[in-house]
Amino acid sequence: MKPLAIFGGTFDPVHLGHLSVAWEASELLDADVRLMPASVPPHRPAPTASAAQRVAMLRAALQGQSRLTLDTRELERAGPSYTIDTLIELRAEQGARPLVLLIGADAFAGLPGWHRWRELFDLAHIGILSRPGVGVVLPDELQREIADRRVDTAAALCEVAAGNVIDLAVTPLEISATRIRELLASGREPRYLLPAGLFDDFDLLSPYRSRR
């Protein structure tokens, strides 16, 4: 069965780094990928753009292809977006289908700060996306947790529904939403760091533009 991969984030805004790594992960795993914007990220400051604005940008970004889709369930739920709750829901919907949580290498290092983090492995595999420009040191408790979970091949993720960890060597793209917000706020136009669809409608990027 084709795995279902979930790529969560604030997407404030969605950029070509997100899209490229999600696309390559989908190819490497032969998986469908859902981009899942978070409403109130428990471990982060509030996003600059509203939930509706971030969804509008994601919709514009995903036009013209069907490999990556949008899942807005976390925005529809009240309260903080805990990944554990999302995975419990998805597991109930998907039965024994392998689920893969895609996480950038920087975010993965912070996993022990996530709500009920050890239980995530009961519900999904984790695919770690390489990300340049971030020196990642995994905390000891995380290293211990994943030591016996590591697998090298995508096929291994199809043998069981959850519990393995795989490194996904995606093309390194040093793009971050923080940098894009800074550029837009200073009046720059980072056209080729963002999906073209975000420039079709001037309003989409207005939450980030300087008001001068």
Q: For binding to ligand ATP (CB under 6 A), which residues are involved?
A: 9-12, 17-18, 21, 103-104, 106-107, 129, 131, 173, 175-178
Q: What are phi and psi of 165, to 5 degrees?
A: -130, 130
- CB of residue 114 vs ligand ATP: minimum separation in angstroms? 11
134 Cβ contact partners less than 8 Å away, ≥ 6 residues apart: 105, 106
Closer to ligand ATP by Cβ: residue 14 or 157: 14
Query: Alpha-carbon Rg of the chain, whole angstroms?
Result: 17
Q: What residue is closest to ligand ATP based on CB?
A: 104
Closer to ligand ATP by Cβ: residue 12 or 145: 12
- CB of residue 11 vs ligand ATP: minimum separation in angstroms? 5
Which contacts (CB < 8 Å, 24+ apart) does range 21-25 have? 21/102, 21/104, 21/129, 21/131, 21/168, 21/170, 21/171, 21/173, 22/68, 22/102, 23/67, 23/68, 24/168, 24/170, 24/171, 25/100, 25/102, 25/127, 25/129, 25/168, 25/170
Closer to ligand ATP by Cβ: residue 18 or 34: 18
- CB of residue 17 vs ligand ATP: minimum separation in angstroms? 3
Closer to ligand ATP by Cβ: residue 11 or 162: 11
CA–CA gap between residue 8 and residue 162 (Å, rounded): 17
Closer to ligand ATP by Cβ: residue 33 or 107: 107
- CB of residue 112 vs ligand ATP: minimum separation in angstroms? 15
Closer to ligand ATP by Cβ: residue 49 or 154: 49
- CB of residue 91 vs ligand ATP: minimum separation in angstroms? 20
114 Cβ contact partners less than 8 Å away, ≥ 6 residues apart: 42, 43, 82, 83, 84, 120
- CB of residue 106 vs ligand ATP: minimum separation in angstroms? 5
